[in-house]
Amino acid sequence: MTAFALAPPLAAQESKDKTIEQLLQELAAERAAREALEKRVAQLESNLAAPGVDELERRLQGLVAPEELQKAPSRPPTSAAFYDPAIGVFMDARLDAGNFDSRLDEDTDNFRLRETEIDMRLPVSPFAEGVAIFSFEDNGNGEFESQVEEGYANIDLGTLFDADIDTTAKLGRFRPLFGRNNQLHLHDWLQVEQPLPVRNLLGDEGVVGEGVLLHQPLAAWAGDDGLGRTLTADVAVVNGEMLADEDSALGAAAEEAGTELQSDASMYVARVSQFTELGSLSDVEVGVSALGPLGGDAVSTTDGDDVQATYLDADVTWRSRAAEHGVGSWLVQAEAMRVDVDDNGADVVDEGTEAGWWFTVQRQTAPNWYLGLLFGVSDVLGSRAEDTSISPYVSWYADEFFRIRAEIEHLTRDGNGSEEDISDANRLMLQFTWNFGVHQPHPYWVNR
């Protein structure tokens, strides 16, 4: 009897122990599952924090079957115009000391940040590049004048029309190719100032026009050992305001005579040049240019008198390098310019032909040092005077982003019977040029 009385409590105890063991096992399983889930969530959050392009592409491919991915149409190309343009900033300062202020009535004997230039470029389509160049010029007394130096679309017509042609076009405001130096911005000049004929006959910084310019390679000839020649034409149609502006030599001469010029018509600017390789480290370029009115009233006075000005120019650039690094290289440039002016009796300028010429010789003596000499002879537009200038200079490039140049200019003026004779106009100029951001390529003849 006693044994049978003890059996039920023992069975109940064993059942109770079994239930607790099962609960502990289930609890351990749930804890392990939760820890695994938390670890997986942490891993996913880490992956989602900064997914790379490759990771995103892998995930997309995981969502779509490979055969469906191949059938899917490609995404349309995104225009580069959505991205930020390449921006470069160029700054130029000049220290000037001498007697040009008293002898030639020029603004000298000072230190000025004479120009700041902002250059922005961006491919806006597969066939066009947008270019915007803004300049801020020091007018003295702490005043700066802002303007659009250049602003144009550079269009590859072959890509635009899907044609086998090499023609490109500029539409907007640009520096037309007239002569050797007019296409250059201030920070790319070989000297502190433009050569004498450019200043006296064209303008202190050349001329800028608004219109359209076509660039067309005409022919190419291959020579032995990879040597060859190319013939190129650049033709522009621009507003006559280019010469009517007071920044041009013709506009300044009219202002000196007490009148202003205006324009309601267009002008042409054309240059044909041939580039020839003389060896693997030597080449020469020869060009001829013309500028004139497309009609008789391209430029006129405010009184309605037509002023016709026709320019002709010839230039040559020869370069020889001793080695690829450029040390020991020689650069020789020369240019001759003439202008024929007929103001129909308006007494804006002396009618007839004005002319000038210049040449420069430059040698690279070390990786960062250049020595040069600039000589020029030129009539003064609007005057009977003739100027002669000689300017030795030295340039030191600290690096690609900072340059210091020193130049001495000695100028004499023959008044040709007037009271403008000057025999001792001298000035020392120190130029400091620096840039940051994207640096556009130098002209091909600059070895830097």
DSSP 398-437: EETTEEEEEEEEEEEEE-TTSS--EEEEEEEEEEEEEEEE
Judgement on whether residues 376 and 309 belong to the same structural domain of the protein: yes
Question: What is the arithmetic mean of pLDDT over 395-419?
Answer: 92
Asked whether residue 335 falls in the same domain as residue 199, the answer is: yes
Judge whether 445 lies within some domain.
Answer: no
Query: Region 12-26: what's the mean pLDDT?
Result: 68
Q: Is the pLDDT assigned to residue 247 strictly greater than 70?
A: yes
The answer to whether residue 30 sits within a structural domain is yes
Is 364 domain-assigned? yes
Q: How far are the Cα atoms of 215, 246, 318, 421 from residue 104, in angstroms, in the given order?
A: 40, 18, 33, 10
Q: How many domains does the chain have?
A: 2
Q: Residue 371: how many CB atoms within 10 A of its CB?
A: 14
Task: Give how far Cα 267 sits from Cα of 92, 240, 288, 370, Å.
Answer: 31, 5, 17, 38
Tell me the range of 313-327, 356-370, 416-430 where mean pLDDT is highest: 356-370
pLDDT band at 442 (very low <50, low <70, confident <90, very high): confident
- CATH number, domain at 262? 2.40.160.10
Q: What is the mean pLDDT of residues 2-22?
A: 56
Residue 448 forms part of a structural domain: no
Q: Give me the pLDDT at residue 34, please.
A: 81
Does the pLDDT value for residue 261 go beyond 50? yes
Verify that 213 and 301 share a domain, yes or no.
Answer: yes
pLDDT one-digit tens code per residue, 48-94: 655 555 666 666 666 665 665 555 555 555 566 667 889 999 999 99
The verdict on 65 and 185 lying in the same domain is no
Q: DSSP letters along 338-394, please? A: EEEEE-TT--SS--EEEEEEEEEEEEEEETTEEEEEEEEEEE-TTSS-EEEEEEEEE
Q: What is the per-residue pLDDT across 151-202, written as a single tens digit (0 to 9) for each?
A: 999 999 999 999 999 999 999 999 999 998 899 999 999 999 999 999 999 9
Q: Is residue 120 assigned to a domain? A: yes
Statement to judge: residues 304 and 389 lie in one domain: yes
Instruction: Tell me, yes or no, whether 386 lies in a domain.
Output: yes
99 and 41 share one domain:
no
Q: Considering the domain boundaries, does residue 76 fall inside one?
A: no
- What's the mean per-residue pLDDT of the chain? 86
Q: What pLDDT does 313 receive?
A: 98
Q: Domain span at residue 59? A: 15-71
Same domain, yes or no: 277 and 247: yes
67/116 same-domain check: no
Check whether residue 180 and residue 315 sit in a common domain. yes
Lowest mean pLDDT among 14-18, 28-32, 246-250: 14-18
Same domain for 114 and 38: no
Is there a single domain that holds both residue 25 and residue 139?
A: no
CB 111 within 8 A of CB 97: no
Put simply, whether the predicted model's pTM sits higher than 0.75 gets the answer yes
